[in-house]
Amino acid sequence: THKVIGQAVEKGDTTYCIMNVSNIREFQYGIAASSDMLWDYTDFDTEKFEKKWFNKYYGKHAGRFHAGRFHAGRVAEAYETYFNSFALTEDGRTLALMDGQTRSAGLGILNGMKKQIKDPTAYAAEQKRKREESAERKWGSTALGDMRVGYSEREAQLAAVRRQKVGFAKADALSAEILPVLQDHEKTFFQNNFVSHVKIMLGLETWLENMILAQEAVDKAQLKSAAKYLESALKALDLVDEGKKLNVQTDKWQHWYRGDRKMNLGAVRQSTGETLELIR
């Protein structure tokens, strides 16, 4: 964001800026940072912004874990651990495994497995066509598609998913240590603004990891193993639901919109279950 805004400033396009901020309640950290950049890009300082923002919402718990001891708190460390965990594409140009990208990658694998089981001959022909894709078309699908998953080989994709998952698991563990020491208002904000996202992403990465492993098993005609991986994938979606519930547990936000219009996670669960039944 800082780089993009900087490019606009360099070109002199500073009359106004329209931002798509998604669900405001859940994305206050990024929205606040972007707002400060837009208000005064030249004087924006990341370290000063972080100190101001964390102190505003978490007070004395806003500090970092240092030298193996619990000092002023670990909230900033938890946020940093989470955001630093996101994997990049192979060319290092953009994020590769955000929520929508993870969902698309997994659904693509599910659709492939369904075709492979129902009509192996047609599936093999389709895979051959994909391998013979022209260099020009491949350039278009990679250079122009910022929302691509961005891994040419399954092994590289699986490794990236696992690295990201490890980082999310660390952030989740940190949040479990932080929650008991927060005041009630801090705890509610932390759950809405951070913990819910960590659990949703951790569940999605675990789901995708099992999608990849199931595909490998199907390729080897190991259908019992594939079924076990798909069962684990369905279980991982329970963690996504747990994260979603954190956003609607208080009276004020009960039954409030949970972001499903974009992600349609119900369809993700349904497709995973359908593939499992097909394999069984």
- What are the tens digits of pLDDT across the range 182-193? 888 888 889 988
Compute φ and ψ for 69, nearest 5 degrees: -125, 155
Residues recorded for the chain: 280
Query: Is residue 69 classed as helix, strand or coil in its secondary structure?
Result: strand
Amino acid 107: pLDDT: 95
Is residue 71's pLDDT more than 50? no
pLDDT over threshold 80, residue 268: yes
The reported pLDDT for the residue numbered 261 is: 60
Instruction: Give the pLDDT of residue 92.
Output: 82
What pLDDT score was predicted for residue 235?
97
Residue 259 sits at the vertex; the CA angle it makes with 248 and 178, to the nearest 5 degrees, is 50
Best CA proximity match to 58, nearest among 197, 186, 177, 194: 186
Residue that wins the pLDDT comparison between 113 and 128: 113
Q: What is the rounded average pLDDT of the residues 151-167?
A: 92
Single-letter amino acid, residue 198: V
Dihedral sign for Cα atoms in the order 242, 243, 244, 245: positive
Determine contact, residues 34/19, Cβ cutoff 8 Å.
Answer: yes
- The H or E element spanning position 102 is helix 99-118
Tens digit of each residue's pLDDT (9 = 90 or more) over 38-55: 999 999 998 889 888 888
